[in-house]
Homo-oligomer: A and B are copies of this chain.
Amino acid sequence: MLPGIGLFGTGPVVKVLVPILRENGFKIEAVWSRTLQDAQELAKDLSIPFFTNKIDDVLLRKDVDLIFVLCSPNLHAQISVKALGIGKHIVCDKPAGLNQCDAFKMVRAGQYYPSLISLINHPFRFLPAFTHMRKAIKDNYLESPITLIDIRIQSGSLFTDSDSFDWKCDDIMGGGALNLIGSHVVDLVTFLTKQRAVRVHGVVRTFTKTTSSINGIRHISAPDFCSFQMELANGVLVTATLNSHTVGSSFQQEVMICSTSGHLVVRGGDLFGRRNRGNEEVLYLDVEDLQCAVPSSSLPKPFIKGICKMVAALREAFLPVKEKAGWVKEPVCSAANFDDGLYVQAVLSAIRQSSNTRQWVKVDIMTKQPDTNALLSAAVRRTAISMS
C-alpha cells in the first residue's frame, strides 16, 4: 500500500518530483512552504489538496505517511527529527541539514526509529549509468585495483536572472556548488567504491557575487566553483572539479574510474569502459526517455532520471506490504541513509576548512553531540578567571 505524501518546500525539485510521484501511484496530500502565499500558489499549480505554512499541520495529518523534506537546509533536522518521532517516513534533501550537528541529530533520530524509512535524496545512486558502473567494479571489470577517480562537472550558473536572494545564495545557509553538487560527488564515490575519504584538500570560490537581480546590499556568498581532492581509506585518489561559474553552459558530467589496466567512465548518462589495452567500449547507453512529463527544469537531466528511478524504488518498497506504511528494505537498500548524510557533511566541512587553511584536512565524523553545556561553563569559567 503506497503512503500519502507530505511535501516541504516549493523549489524546482518539488515541481519535478510531484508528477513523478503521481506517475508511480503516490498521492500528494499536503504541501508546506515558509510563506502561505508560496504554498497556496504551488498547491494550486500542482492540484495539491492541502497547503500550509505550519510544519505540524503537515506532520500530524493522518493521510500523510511519507515526508519529502526539500526546503532550506536550516529546517532539515528539525522537520526530519520531529517527523520520525510522529512515525512518518522521511526522504530529506542533500546535504542533510546545515552542518554535522544537524546531520548527527538526524542520524540519532533515524537509529531510534529503525522501522521507518530515513533516506537522503542522492538520485545519482539510482541513475542506471552509475548502478551499472558499480556492478562493473564489483564484477572486477577493471581487473586490477582502482587507482584514481577523476570527476568533472560543469553546469550553468546556479542562479537565473529572475532569482531573488534566498538560502541558495548563502554559503552558511547551505547554498552553492560544494553543497548542492559536491555533496552528490562525495556520496557517489562511496556508493561506487564502498570507500570513504580520510583526508581532503579543496579550493572553494565564489566568483559571481552579483546578478542582474541580486545586486543590492546582500551579495552571493555561495561558491560557484570548487576543486577538491580526497584520499580514500584504501589509498585511492579522487579529484573533482565542479564549475558552475561558466555562464550559460549546459550540464556536463564525466566520472572516470581508472586502474592500471583500464578504466570505466560515465559521460552524461552513458557508461563506457576499456580494459586489456583494447578500445573503449559502450557498456550502457541511456536511450530511455523520461516516462512521465516533467516541467522543463533547471535541474540536469541525469538528476531527474535518477529521481524517477528512486521514486520507482520507493514504490517497490511500499507496494508489496498490506499494512499502512509498511515496507520492505530490498528496493531501497542502496539508497543513501542518514549515516551517509553525516559522512557527506563531515567531508564538505573538511573541504571548506582546507580551503581556508590551505592544507589537507583529516575527515572527522562526529560521534557524539557536542556538549554545549560544557562549552558554556568553560567559557564562563574563563571569563571569571580573566575578571578576577
Interface residues of chain A, those whose CB is within 8 Å of chain B, are: 147-148, 150, 152, 201, 203, 205, 207-208, 225, 227, 229, 237, 239, 241, 243, 245-249, 256, 258, 260-263, 274-275, 277-280, 358-360
The residue from B227, B261, B360 contacting A239, defined by CB atoms under 8 A apart? B227
Cα–Cα, bound, A253→B360 (Å): 28
Q: Within the complex, which residue of B203, B237, B243, B245 is in contact with A205, where a contact is CB–CB below 8 Å?
A: B237
Q: Tell whether, in the assembled complex, residue B263 and residue A150 are in contact, meaning their CB atoms are under 8 Å apart.
A: no
Given contacts A237-B205, A258-B207, contact A147 B245 (CB under 8 A): yes
- Total copies of this chain within the assembly: 2
Label chain A's interface by main secondary structure: strand
Chain B hits for A150, CB < 8 A: 241, 243
Q: Do residues B148 and A208 form an inter-chain contact, with CB atoms below 8 A?
A: no
A261 to B207 CA separation, bound complex (whole angstroms): 11
Q: What are the residues of chain B within 8 A of A248 when measuring CB–CB?
A: 274, 277-280
Given A148-B245, A246-B274, A248-B277, 5 extra CB contacts under 8 A:
A207-B258, A207-B260, A245-B258, A246-B263, A359-B360
Docked-complex contact A148 and B203, CB < 8 angstroms: no
**Cα–Cα, bound, A262→B156 (Å):** 11
Q: Give the residue name and chain of the B residue nearest to A239 (CB).
A: B227
A205 to chain B: closest residue by CB: B237
Measured between beta carbons, the chain B residues less than 8 angstroms from A203 are: 201, 229, 237, 239
Residue of B nearest to A209 (CB): B260
> B241 touching A148 by the CB < 8 A rule?
no
Residues of B within 8 A of A279 (CB): 248
The chain B residue sitting closest to A361, CB to CB, is B358
- CB-CB nearest in chain B for A150: B243
Residues of B contacting A277 in the complex (Cβ-Cβ under 8 angstroms) = 247-248
CB neighbours (8 Å) of A205 from chain B are 148, 237
Q: Chain B: which residue is nearest A236 at the CB level?
A: B207
Shortest Cβ distance from A152 into B: residue = B152
A243–B148 Cα distance when bound, in Å, is: 10
- In the complex, which residue of chain B has the Cβ closest to the Cβ of A248? B277
The answer to whether residues A246 and B258 also contact, given A239-B241, A360-B358 and a CB cut-off of 8 A, is: yes
Q: Within the complex, what minimum Cβ distance (angstroms) separates A243 from chain B?
A: 6
**Does A247 contact B262, Cβ atoms closer than 8 Å?**
yes
Residues in B whose Cβ lies below 8 Å from that of A229: 203, 227
Question: Could you tell me the distance between the alpha carbons of A274 and B229 in the complex, rounded to whole angstroms?
Answer: 29
A247 & B263 in contact (Cβ 8 Å cutoff) = yes
A225 CB contact (under 8 Å) in B148, B249, B274: B148
Instruction: Collect the chain B residues with CB atoms within 8 Å of residue A239's CB.
Output: 203, 227, 241
Across the interface, do A261 and B247 meet the contact criterion of CB distance under 8 Å?
A: yes
